[in-house]
Amino acid sequence: MPIIVNLDVMMAKRKMSLNELSDRVGLTLSNLSILKTGKAKAVRFSTLETICDVLECQPGDILEYVKES
């Protein structure tokens, strides 16, 4: 898949656990884990906005497009 999710990278930079992010964003651990592992088929802008607010980052820090060869 050409969209790479770097949520784990941003969480590490902010020294934040998945449990803490889940509590602060208001998502279940399982849904956040699906997003973190790149298995999500979609993400709501409101969810992305909240994650960016909590992690103090931009959407481009979390989502990356890599062209397939």
Report the number of distinct structural domains present in the chain. 1
| Domain housing 48 | 3-65
pTM of the model: 0.90
Question: Could you tell me the pLDDT band of residue 68, with boundaries at 50, 70 and 90?
Answer: confident
- Mean pLDDT, residues 52-65: 96
* Model pLDDT for residues 8-50, shown as the tens digit of each residue: 999 999 999 999 999 999 999 999 999 999 999 999 999 999 9
Cβ–Cβ contacts within 10 Å for residue 26, how many? Answer: 10
Measured in degrees and rounded to the nearest 5, phi and psi for residue 44 equal: -75, 145
pLDDT of 1 over the 70 cut: no
Q: What is the CATH number of the domain that holds 11?
A: 1.10.260.40
What pLDDT is attached to residue 46? 96
Q: Are 19 and 29 in contact (CB under 8 A)?
A: yes
Cβ burial 42-69 (10 Å sphere, 16+ → b, else e)? ebeeebeebbbebbebeeebbeeeeeee
